[in-house]
Structure 1
Amino acid sequence: MLELSALIDTVQKNCTIADARHARDMTMCTFLLEMREYYRWEMEIPYGARLPKDELGDWLNTRESLWNAVEEEDFAPLPLSAAGIDPFEADDINRALIPQGLVYSSGLGHFRKPHFVLAELKRAEVRDGVQVLVAGCEYARDLIAPPAAMRDGTIFLRMDAVRRLLWNKYEEWQWKEKDTALGRAFAYYDFEHDIERGLDRMAEAESEAMILHEIGEARAETLLGEDWNAMLGHLKSRHAELLARAVRDHLADCLVTLPTLLEREAIGSLHFYLANLSGLRRALFPALLQAYEAWLGSGDTATLASVVKAAEAHWLDAARHLSATYHRDPAQGDAQLNALAGGDLAGLRL
């Protein structure tokens, strides 16, 4: 039988090592916000409950000291065999864990930060030929909790992270203008009259939208080939990587996410999608914003659907252009993509 406590301790230690090496790369504002939510998870404090200021401050100081102590340590093998299993061999690990109702994920996220999570397995399914593993209660995790990710051809969805993301969006929205795409999403799920039920409904709907996005990522990866992954793995500039990911996100969403949401008339998810269109993704796709405004005025999704259909070819061409630019001269490709991200986006914008 699995020694669950030893497994949790090992995964959590690897999470701590990853945080020690990368957490302080964030801006101070983002770092403090993420640490507050990590403390809430670790201490099992309910959503919306006020965090104890003094205890949080002590915990932050203790965590910094722990990071300093483990930063140079190697990631530990997971105690699932006599020799242990490399923590990045998620397929081998899951072969041992899934029959016991557990699921594990590991991999490199944005800017090559390692992520590890061990959780309860809620369900496993296959969508469009892609395995989907849905995690529930999380027993070990690192500071950043991506709600969904594609790892080695498998979609890993974290329901706890989805709910935390939605709750944080709701709390943030309380202090902002109400008549926005985000406000329309919360209104659709009737947060005003029953927050808990609204959160349940929204988490279910938005987790489905996240799965659709990851299926879109799988299709985009097939279209773009190994050159794209090779480029993404070697980019050193944060701005270059953000640009590449933004273009691929748009391609994935125009291939799968948005056409499916429009076909299903998933109104709440469409509002939430536009509410989260920010940064480079927003700057690159003003046509989608204009089509969204037209939909609000007319109630007819035809313009929105037309823009999304036309955008599919545009983002595929844009992604191939970025890849070709990089591979023509890999020594200078990073700088060239970085200059594109920080300069004139007219050649990429739709």
Structure 2
Amino acid sequence: MDLPRLVAAVQANCDIADARHAREMTMCNYLLAMRELYRWERGMPLTQSLPQAELGSWIAQREARWNTLDEADFRPLPLDGGCDPFDNAAINALLAPRGLVYSGGIGRWGKPHFFLGELVRREPRHGLDVLVSDRELARDLFAPPAALRGGMVFLRLDALRRWLWEKTEVWGVKRAEGALQAALEGYGFPGNAAAALDRMAATEAESLILHEVGEARAEPLLGAAWREMLGSLPGRRAELLARAVRDNLADCLSTLPALIERGASPALHFYFANFEGVRRSLFPRLWSAYAAWRKSGDADVLIVACGDGQAHWQAAALRLLAAWRSNPAEAAGLFSDWLDEPGTLAL
């Protein structure tokens, strides 16, 4: 295997995906992501300040490069005579014995994501094949820390640490009270930040796996049509609603029950620090249960909310599916309306 050639092919596909989709992000998220991609490419420590003038020049050069790639086709990977870049099973069968892991798939808003990294462990979990990477050799602009693809869970420790560090930096500006402060204090911030980040990453890696397990458990409940629906919805608002409903179902099935059973208080606080936007507006009962748990320390209220959520979010997801099947052309508009006025879709 020619590793430099493989890295170049994966990175080329990452660049093509970015050329097509990177500038669809909001300006704030785009600039934050570009800063982190620059830091990754340069191998800079998370704590090191970025040279602003050099960063600005690098962004301009990267955007000019993307302008030459937005019509390019994704490349096959130079393995076994040429592999489809979305054939994760075949590619990882070739790479895992060499201590590497690869993922290619479609994420939010139809954006392709690719990465190649060093495999640190592989384990079965609830019928899933969990592959954990650390140092990354190729990646695109937005690096999801975890993804479920065809029975395989890809957990990216490097991407996770970068995301967690960004969270701590944002909190450090104002040090606002709330769920994030409780989580960070539980992990040992603002003391030895490096040690606290390691503890946090180890625990939150498990939370991510639990969420992907929940998504896998949701799949047979919703059927293959769910993925078809998700891939066919035009416009971001409809997809946002559908993903929020499924995420709430996955977390009620797996993430939250496991964290509650383990008494993982910092992880629970961090979960609720990120429980926001549509997921939270659809599930105010869970947020109220969290507030009650923080006040009393009694997790029963969270357990009951999760139990009720399992049935509710499965029914809500099936309701979305029924609406889509009934009239696919009008489903996106209906979902968008429900985003503003969820009515009985919320719990």
Instruction: Name the TM-score, length of structure 2 as normaliser.
Output: 0.98
Aligned counterpart for 2:124 among listed residues 126, 130, 144: 126
Q: Secondary structure at the match of 1:122?
A: strand
Q: Does 1:16 align with 2:19?
A: no
Which residue matches 2:334? 336
Code of the aligned partner of 1:96: L
Matches of 1:19 and 1:348 in 2, distance apart? 35
Runs of at least 5 residues in structure 2 that lack an aligned partner in the other structure: none
Pairing 1:228–2:226 present: yes
Matches within 5 A, 1:1-350: 2-82=1-81, 84-341=82-339, 343-350=340-347
Contact map agreement 1:237 1:335 (CA 8 A) in 2: no
**Letter in structure 2 aligned against 1:27:** T
Q: Residues of 1 paired with 2:89 and 2:300: CA distance?
A: 42
2:202 & 2:307 partners in 1: Cα distance?
26
Tell me which amino acid in the other structure corresponds to 1:158.
Answer: R
- In terms of mean alpha carbon deviation, does 97-106 or 43-52 score higher? 43-52
What is the distance in 1 between the residues matched to 2:78 and 2:7?
A: 10
Q: Does the CA-based 8 Å contact 1:108-1:114 persist in structure 2?
A: yes
Partners of 1:326 and 1:337 within 8 A in 2: no
| Number of residue equivalences | 347
Report how far residue 177 of structure 1 moved.
4.0
Tell me which amino acid in the other structure corresponds to 1:333. Answer: A
Q: Distance between the aligned counterparts of 1:282 and 1:338, measured in 2?
A: 16
Contact 1:35 1:143 in 2 (8 A): yes
Q: Which moved more, 1:200-209 or 1:175-184?
A: 175-184
How far the C-alpha of 1:322 sits from its partner, in A, is 0.7
Instruction: Determine the C-alpha separation between the residues in 2 that align with 1:45 and 1:346.
Output: 48
Residue 81 of structure 1 deviates from its aligned partner by: 2.5
State the one-letter code of the partner of 1:170. T
Q: CA deviation at 1:48?
A: 2.2
CA RMSD of aligned residues (A): 0.9
Corresponding letter in the other structure for 2:61: T
SS of match in other structure, 2:49:
coil
What amino acid does structure 1 have at the position aligned with 2:7? I
**2:345 & 2:289 partners in 1: Cα distance?**
18
Which AA in structure 2 matches 1:348?
L
Per-residue CA deviations over 1:197-232 (Å, capped at 9, x if unaligned) read 111111010000000000000010110001211111
> Could you tell me whether the CA contact under 8 Å between 1:119 and 1:138 is conserved in 2?
yes
Select between 295-304 and 209-218 the one with higher mean Cα deviation.
295-304
The 2-side partners of 1:307 and 1:18 are apart by 39
CA–CA distance in structure 2, aligned partners of residues 296 and 68 of structure 1: 50
Moved more, 187-196 or 268-277: 187-196
- Post-superposition Cα deviations, 1:240-261, rounded to whole Å, max 9, x if no partner, equal 0000000000000000110110
The share of aligned pairs that are identical, in percent, is 53
Q: TM-score, normalised by structure 1?
A: 0.98
Cα deviation for residue 307 of structure 1 reads 1.1
Deviations 1:295-323 (A, max 9, x none): 11111111111111111101111111011
Structure 1: 5+ residue stretches without partners: none
Shift of 1:193: 2.1
Deviations 1:159-193 (A, max 9, x none): 00110111000000012343210010010011222
CA distance in 2, matches of 1:349, 1:48: 41
What whole-Å deviation, never above 9, does each CA across 1:58-85 have from its counterpart, x for those lacking one?
A: 1011101110111111111111133x11
4+ aligned runs moved over 2 Å, structure 1: none
Tell me, in whole angstroms, the C-alpha distance in 1 between the residues paired with 2:144 and 2:84. 22
- Secondary structure of the 1:300 match is coil
CA distance in 2, matches of 1:295, 1:106: 39
Matched to 1:278, the amino acid is E
Q: Which amino acid aligns with 1:325?
A: A
CA distance in 1, matches of 2:100, 2:13: 18
